[in-house]
Structures are given as structure tokens and as C-alpha cells.
Amino acid sequence: MTRPLRSLRNRLTLIFALIVAGAIGIVYSYVTPRLEDELVAQKLVRLQESAARESPRLEDVVGTGTPQRDVERRTTTAAKFSSAEVTVLQVSLGTVNQIYPVADSSPGGAALAEINDVAERAALGGEPVTDTVQTGVGRQALAAVPLIRNDKVRGVAVFADSLSDVQANVELIRQRILVAGAIALVLAALAGYVVARALTGRIKRLERAARKVAAGDFSNAIRADSDDELGQLAATFDDMQRQLAQLDTARKQFIASASHELRTPIFSLGGFLELLEDEELDEETRAQFFTQLRGQVARLRKLATELLDLSRLESGALELRPETTDVGQLAREIAGEFTPAASAHGAELQVRAAIDPIEIECDPERVAQVMRILLDNALVHTPAGTRIVVSAARENGHVTLQVADSGLGIRDQTMPHIFEPFFTSADGARGAGLGLAIARELAERMHGELTVRSTPGRTAFKLTLPA
């Protein structure tokens, strides 16, 4: 059973929920306190502006012997126009600073001890002071304005306004954030679950297809259902599956063809050995059988060598040993090796290569192997008396080695298949059909190219190597 957090679907859902929960937490713990500070600051600014506007009406009545009734009336008027509680305090600055109230627009509000600090700072500094304090009637915003007459601080007017409305607004916002956050969290979790389920469903489909491919079943095509990354993955997977199917088919065909090619000479050898057990065979017939046996052994040896070479090429295990090589001289040497075979075939073998060295960095053994395959192919697939020309030259920054013959040519329907392993033409020539496949693989490993052109009366195989 899959553990909950090991499921990609559950992890994606959890990630969606955590992201939303984190965003809600940031808003709740960072944005709302800053909002409260901003609202308090705005209230203090408005309160200070009201205090600055209303304080001049109080400067003329503090410390002047104005009747108490007039002082209280002006204080009440200032409170009315500022929408705040106003407390007027008289100041006596000397050896001992004395501050005492002379009028209060709302008795029972903030106590003297609670506003005394703000009043003292305004009196001593001669500048307005704003602050917030916790009082017996709740948190208050305070603005203290010194009352100055004749350049002397005569008193302080303290304007106080409750912050309960700010706190109520902030609390309401917090509740709304929590409610909206809870709804968003649920919706995010549901959306994450739906999206994750859709994604994991597509991934599961690829997983099932991968398991079938691992089991050797390449029959289920995976169609890309979108242009996103998973769609591209599905398209890539489908392309891989198609290539694996082709490789599997080629592998099976290779095994079947190799088995057939090996079985034929082995059965032939078994038949000849049974015939040789007959004691009544005359020496001439026995000698013919031995000749046939040697031919079949040579065929098996060649086939085994070619299979090994092809296997090493396809697995990338073939190691090249490049060295400075005169390919013109190499062409002459390989042609010399085939002179007896050409004479036995009645073929005219010519070499066309410049006297001056044609030197490149290459593996001479592998280049020679390609040339031997091409010459052997020319002798096997052409009638007796055919002219075969081996040439080496420099062309357009490359070096070319060519084997051309004046035989009947290659049929059009045969041309696309001549480099396929185990393909043999219908001309009755013997062979496993591996030589040209090996030659092309060798050419590509040497960063070269093996091409063929054929018309009735001329066929030319050309090996092109980088100079």
C-alpha cells in the first residue's frame, strides 16, 4: 500500500494547500499589523491637525485669570470641533515643574496620570507631541499642543481620541482574512487535488506503457494529448517505443537470418561427413568432398568473423587506431592481394592512384577492410571478364577510395537494401549479406561515408574520408 505522502497526487495537493496557507499566514501576521500601524498613524496625524487648528482659542484663556466658566466653554467648543476629548492643563515651569488641569471637556475620560507624560514633553519641548497610551477607558491617541503666549509656555492642551474604531476595523479585517483564507485554502486543496489527479493520471498512463515496453510489448501507441511538458514526454516516449519496436524487429530478423546462414553450412558439413564415412568412395570423389568441406569451413569462418565485426560495431566496442596513412599505396596493396582472385575470375583489375602520397589520419586496417569487402563484392557479383577499377584521389577537401566495375549494375528495387544486414541479391551469388553492412558501419565510425551509384554497365562504390 502506498503511503499518503509518497503519492505525487497527495504531495501536489499538500503543496498547493501549504502555499495558500503560507500566503494567508503572511497576510495575517505581517499585513494586518502594518495596517493597524498605518491606521493609528493616520489618526494621530488627523488628531494633531485638529489640535493645531483648535489650540489658538485656548491660548488666550490659560494663565490669564479668565473665569473658569469661559475656560470650560472654550474647551468644550474645541472638543466639539475636533471630535476629541480636550483637557487643558496649566504649566508652571521652574525649580519644580507643575502641571495641573484647569478644564476637561469629558470628565471621566483619560486620567491625568495617563496623559501627564505627553503633556510634560510638549511643555518642556515647546513642540506638539503625539503618542498612544493605554488608559482606563481603552487605548487612546493623544496629541499634546503647548499653549504659548509671549514666547512662554503657559499651558498644554491634550486632545485624546479613542482607538477602539481602529481596533474594531483591524479585527474585522482579520476575521475576513481568516474566513476568506479558509475558503481559499479549501478551494486550493480541491483545485490542487483535481490538477494533481489529472497529472498523475497521465503519468500513470506512461508508467503502464513503460511496463509493457519493458515486457516486450510495443503495440500500445502513446498519443500526446497536449503541448505541455508531459505531452512532449509522451511524444518522446512514443517515438522511443517505435524505435524500440523497429530494433526488436531488426533483432529478431537478425537472429533468424544468422541462424539460417549458420545452419546451411553446418548441415552441409554434416552431410559431407556422412558421405565421407562411405568406404567405397573413390579418391577423386573424396577429394571433391574435402574441397567442398574446406569451402563450407571457410564460409563459416567468414560468417563468424563478419558477425563478430558487426556486433562490435553496433555495440560501439570497435576501437580505431588512426595513424598517418598513404591511402594511394594502401589501395595498390589491397588490389595486389586480389590479383590472383581476379585472374581466376577472368577479371581485369586496374589501380588508378597518384604517384605522390595521399596521406590522411585514419585506421589503415579498417580502411583496408572496407576495400577488401568492396573488391570481394565486385568479384562475386559480376560476370567473368568484368573490368574492375580501384582508384584513390583527393576531392574537395576529402580523400576518396573507389571500387568500380563494368558489370550489369544493381537493380533499382535492390538498391535501397544493399547495406542492410543479411540482404542478398537475387543473382545467385553466395554470401551472408553482411559485408556491405559492415563496410558502411566502418565508414561511419571513421566519420566518413560509403555511397554507391549504379547504372547498367557501371557500378561504383565510393568511400569518402575527411582529409
241-to-95, 121, 235, 238 alpha-carbon distances in Å: 99, 84, 10, 5
- Looking at the structure, tell me whether residues 378 and 418 fall in a common domain: yes
Q: Max alpha carbon distance in the chain (Å)?
A: 163
Rank 19-33, 266-280, 364-378 by mean pLDDT and report only the highest.
364-378
How many domains does the chain divide into? Answer: 4
pLDDT, position 145: 92
- Looking at the structure, tell me whether residues 462 and 349 fall in a common domain: yes
Q: What percent of the chain has pLDDT over 90?
A: 19
pTM for this entry: 0.47
Mean pLDDT of 26-31: 78
Average of per-residue pLDDT values in the chain: 82
Least confident of 164-178, 197-211, 271-285, 389-403: 271-285
- Looking at the structure, tell me whether residues 405 and 454 fall in a common domain: yes
Question: Cα–Cα distance between 437 and 434 in angstroms, integer?
Answer: 5
pLDDT, position 259: 66
Query: Which amino acid does the sequence have at 263?
Result: R
- Looking at the structure, tell me whether residues 155 and 293 fall in a common domain: no
- Looking at the structure, tell me whether residues 185 and 132 fall in a common domain: no
Mean pLDDT of 412-437: 70
What is the span of the domain harbouring residue 270? Answer: 229-314
pLDDT, position 93: 62
Query: Which amino acid does the sequence have at 184?
Result: A
- Looking at the structure, tell me whether residues 326 and 440 fall in a common domain: yes
Element (H, E) at 63: none
Q: 255 pLDDT band (50/70/90 cuts)? A: low
250-288 burial: b if 16+ Cβ within 10 Å, else e: eeeebeebbeebbebbeebbeebeeeeeeeeeeeeeeee
Mean pLDDT of 45-73: 86
CATH of the domain at 409: 3.30.565.10
Q: Cα 165 vs. chain centroid, distance in angstroms?
A: 54
Q: What percent of the chain has pLDDT over 70?
A: 85
- Looking at the structure, tell me whether residues 291 and 359 fall in a common domain: no
pLDDT at 144 > cutoff 90:
yes
- Looking at the structure, tell me whether residues 372 and 453 fall in a common domain: yes
pLDDT at 256 > cutoff 70:
no
Mean pLDDT of 49-74: 85
Cα within 13 Å of Cα(290), Cβ side: 7
pLDDT at 1 > cutoff 50:
no
Q: 424 pLDDT band (50/70/90 cuts)? A: low
Does residue 433 form part of some domain?
yes
Does residue 24 form part of some domain?
yes
Copy the grid coordinates of residue 51: 489640535
25-to-19, 132, 177, 190 alpha-carbon distances in Å: 10, 27, 10, 19
pLDDT, position 113: 81
CB of 460 closer than 8 Å to CB of 403: yes
Mean pLDDT of 16-39: 82
CATH of the domain at 234: 1.10.287.130
- Looking at the structure, tell me whether residues 359 and 447 fall in a common domain: yes
